[in-house]
Structure 1
Amino acid sequence: MKLVVLGLSLSSSWGNGHATTFRGLLGEFATRGHDILFLERDVPWYASQRDLADPDYCRLSFYSDLKDLERWQGEIARADAVMVGSYVPQGVDVGRFVQQTARGVTAFYDIDTPVTLAKFARGDFEYLSPELIPGFDVYLSFTGGPTLRFIERELGSPGARALYCQADPAIYRPLDVPSRWDLSYLGTWSEDRQPTVEKLLCAAARALPERRFCVAGPLYPGDIEWPANVERIEHVPPAEHPDFYAASRFTLNVTRADMIAAGWSPSVRLFEAAMCGCPVISDVWDGLDQLFEPGREILLARTTEDVVAALEGIAPAQARAIGEAARVRALAEHTSAVRAGELERHLEEAMVGKHTAALAGEGWTEA
């Protein structure tokens, strides 16, 4: 099929998790024989931090504003499917333009579903508004579980489907590198995650001054007082993520408050670390046990003491066994190839539904 994607970014992974998600998903989608055009708003903060200028699996083009987007009106109209992502600048106007222009299936890909719904509750329609949702043939969500039924029943989506994040095993794999940290955390700063980072990493670092810790990611305020044994790294490019996880005895997963409330909202770092064989210590939320088995494939922590107990009490062989078990699970269920197959199935089902509805509207019945 011909697929047009309007997403936050494909060209730059700086300060967002969208780019790596799109890269893995669309790379495998192209491998399945599909033609892809990715349209990205040209903004200075990504233009100055681009780490993928010319992907070999799709066409990547930039538009400067809504008027400039009209240059691709023909491609959008002729596409078999058009997918708009969350956090696209002026996303409401972009979504409306797509729904008015596209003749094929339209999809909204929400990489931030709990954030979107929390924004709705506040009357904040930054990149999506409720009245647009019934106009998308399928709502693809980073969050599964009960949230999908809510999107259908309360917001009027014709079909809400989980399309979780994923990782590419060709990139994320175990590496033999020297250990640098006992516990690491890789994530962009967010105000609602920082208290958990403080509790599960910084407090553990203060309790274990002989251990080594690391927090990597951009946008952390300069007034945070990091313990002396916590190394700060401003940005780790995606190509260096496997080395980062390989250098970590354990890595931490911290989830945003809205995603904890919704449940069933895995972060990409879960799957990236798992495929690298790095054992994960995670905060706790509904649905996590459906993705990895606690105690065997992942470790759960509610308190600083839980983290300290893991770092002090789990032998290296046991830690490696946990990491390897998670890797086996991730390779079976959470690869980019698996997600590309799911995307293909969801779009094809939406095409069938759209075709059936059109026939019904014309008074036809299918044999």
Structure 2
Amino acid sequence: MKIAFYGSSLLSSYWNGAATYYRGLLSDLARRGYDVTFYEPDAFDRQQHRDIDPPEWAKVKVYPATEEALRSVIAEAGRADVVVKASGVGVFDDELLEGVIAASRPDAIRIFWDVDAPATLSELRQNPGHALHRAMPSLDLVLTYGGGPPVVEAYEGFGARRCVPIYNALDPSTHHPVPPDGRFEADLSFLGNRLPDREARVEQFFLEPAARLPQRRFLIGGNGWETKAMPQNVRHIGHVYTRDHNAFNTSPLAVLNIARDSMASTGFSPATRVFEAAGAGACLITDAWIGLELFLKEGEEVLVARDGKDVAEHVEALTPQRAKTIGEAARARILAEHTYSRRGAEVDAILRQEAAQKRERSVA
């Protein structure tokens, strides 16, 4: 089957947390025989900060952020068996959603793939005129980056025929243990962009522990933190390219995961960083959120913090040997249960089922 996927970016993770997710899932689907074309706008300086070259497993069409180019890429939806509009493209989102649905063939599977379901659902609640409300009756599927039962129930309440969470996972060919790198040495490291619904939790779970432990070394990577006041023992290194994520995860004593406000309140929303860190064998400390036990076991495969004091206590008590033991246990669990090969098999089964149902309806 031919997949036309309209998303933020496959080639760049710059201000684009979904890049690893897209790459892991789509490369696996390609290995299963799908013909994938990914459409991404030339916007937000992402093309100037590419992490990968165009891959062999997908055609990537980068289009100018203009209405003329938009019409051209929308028209190509008509050649696909599966048409996917992802959330958060950032350029002409509403026009893309309505356009690719209108351009797709009647027998095509139409999907809205939400990589930030809590935010999208909040918009749907607040805006009765949201484009997704209008599009919902024409969609065959809503797939989500996470969210579990709360997200499924909410989407079904808004009229989705079917909503299925497809969680983040690990691609062991790209995220794996590597030797430590002096650039990323620290007692605790955090990687994430500065966003309005994350900043307060970064202050609580990262900057507060740093202030509590002035003798310890803290490292923060990601965009937007240049103007943020931080304790003297915190080092900021800016954007970290995906090629350096393995070293970023293997070099410190522990790595911190901090969910955004909406993700933490919704639960069942492990970030890509969780699987990247586990894949590298890092000792992960995470803030608490509902559903964590589906992915990692507290105290054995991950350390869980309810506040900044907990983070500081974990760092103080952690020895290199215990960090290694936790990291190895996390890696074993994720490799066994949470790879993109497993997620790809899940999506493949869903698409084949939808295709069969569409054929049955057309005959009837």
TM-score, with length taken from structure 1: 0.92
Task: Select between 28-37 and 228-237 the one with higher mean Cα deviation.
Answer: 28-37
Q: C-alpha displacement at 1:297, in angstroms?
A: 1.0
Identify the residue that residue 43 of structure 1 maps to in structure 2: 43
**Residue identity in the other structure for 1:298:** V
Q: Does 2:323 correspond to 1:311?
A: no
Q: Does 2:283 correspond to 1:279?
A: yes
- Paired residues for 1:59-78 under 5 Å: 59-64=59-64, 65-72=66-73, 75-78=76-79
Q: 2-side partners of 1:144 and 1:192: how far apart?
A: 17
Identify the residue that residue 13 of structure 1 maps to in structure 2: 13
Identify the residue that residue 95 of structure 1 maps to in structure 2: 97
Query: Over aligned residues, Cα RMSD in angstroms?
Result: 1.9
- Cα shift readout 1:17-51 (whole Å, capped 9, x = no counterpart): 12222122212221122211111122252232223
Question: Gaps (5+ residues) in structure 2?
Answer: none
Identify the residue that residue 239 of structure 2 maps to in structure 1: 235
Aligned match for 2:180, one of 170, 177, 181: 177
Q: C-alpha displacement at 1:267, in angstroms?
A: 0.5
Identify the residue that residue 2 of structure 1 maps to in structure 2: 2
Identify the residue that residue 294 of structure 1 maps to in structure 2: 298
- Paired residues for 1:202-281 under 5 Å: 202-220=207-225, 222=227, 224-281=228-285
| 2:177–2:246 CA contact under 8 A, matched in 1 | yes
Q: Does 2:341 correspond to 1:337?
A: yes
Specify the SS of the correspondent of 2:102. Answer: helix
Q: Does 2:110 correspond to 1:106?
A: yes
Q: C-alpha displacement at 1:221, in angstroms?
A: 5.4
Q: 2-side partners of 1:118 and 1:82: how far apart?
A: 24
Identify the residue that residue 192 of structure 2 maps to in structure 1: 187
- Cα shift readout 1:278-313 (whole Å, capped 9, x = no counterpart): 111111111112111111111110122211221111
Q: Does 2:125 correspond to 1:133?
A: no
Task: Select between 64-73 and 236-245 the one with higher mean Cα deviation.
Answer: 64-73
Task: Select between 174-183 and 162-171 the one with higher mean Cα deviation.
Answer: 174-183
Q: 2-side partners of 1:176 and 1:82: how far apart?
A: 41
Identify the residue that residue 26 of structure 1 maps to in structure 2: 26
Shift of the 176–62 alpha-carbon distance from structure 1 to 2, 3 Å rule, reads closer
- Cα shift readout 1:197-238 (whole Å, capped 9, x = no counterpart): 11222121122111111010002251x211111110111100
**Residue identity in the other structure for 1:317:** Q
**Residue identity in the other structure for 1:49:** H
Q: 1-side partners of 2:125 and 2:285: how far apart?
A: 31
Identify the residue that residue 197 of structure 1 maps to in structure 2: 202
Identify the residue that residue 168 of structure 2 maps to in structure 1: 165
Q: 1-side partners of 2:174 and 2:168: how far apart?
A: 15
Specify the SS of the correspondent of 1:295. Answer: coil
Q: 2-side partners of 1:92 and 1:287: how far apart?
A: 32
| 1:144–1:161 CA contact under 8 A, matched in 2 | no
Q: 1-side partners of 2:241 and 2:8: how far apart?
A: 17
Identify the residue that residue 149 of structure 1 maps to in structure 2: 152
**Residue identity in the other structure for 1:90:** F
| 1:217–1:235 CA contact under 8 A, matched in 2 | yes
Q: 2-side partners of 1:184 and 1:38: how far apart?
A: 32
Specify the SS of the correspondent of 1:62. Answer: strand
Q: Does 2:86 correspond to 1:85?
A: yes
Q: 2-side partners of 1:148 and 1:44: how far apart?
A: 29
| 2:226–2:238 CA contact under 8 A, matched in 1 | no
| 1:4–1:76 CA contact under 8 A, matched in 2 | yes
Identify the residue that residue 329 of structure 2 maps to in structure 1: 325
**Residue identity in the other structure for 2:295:** L
**Residue identity in the other structure for 2:35:** D
Q: 2-side partners of 1:304 and 1:32: how far apart?
A: 44
- Cα shift readout 1:59-98 (whole Å, capped 9, x = no counterpart): 1112233432333456421211111111122222111111
Q: C-alpha displacement at 1:165, in angstroms?
A: 1.7
- Cα shift readout 1:326-346 (whole Å, capped 9, x = no counterpart): 111111222222222222122
Q: C-alpha displacement at 1:124, in angstroms?
A: 8.5
Specify the SS of the correspondent of 2:36. Answer: strand
**Residue identity in the other structure for 1:288:** L
Shift of the 225–148 alpha-carbon distance from structure 1 to 2, 3 Å rule, reads closer
| 2:226–2:236 CA contact under 8 A, matched in 1 | no
**Residue identity in the other structure for 2:113:** Y
Shift of the 299–44 alpha-carbon distance from structure 1 to 2, 3 Å rule, reads closer
Specify the SS of the correspondent of 1:134. Answer: helix
TM-score, with length taken from structure 2: 0.93
Q: C-alpha displacement at 1:121, in angstroms?
A: 2.5
- Paired residues for 1:351-366 under 5 Å: 351-359=355-363, 364=364
Q: 2-side partners of 1:300 and 1:314: how far apart?
A: 13
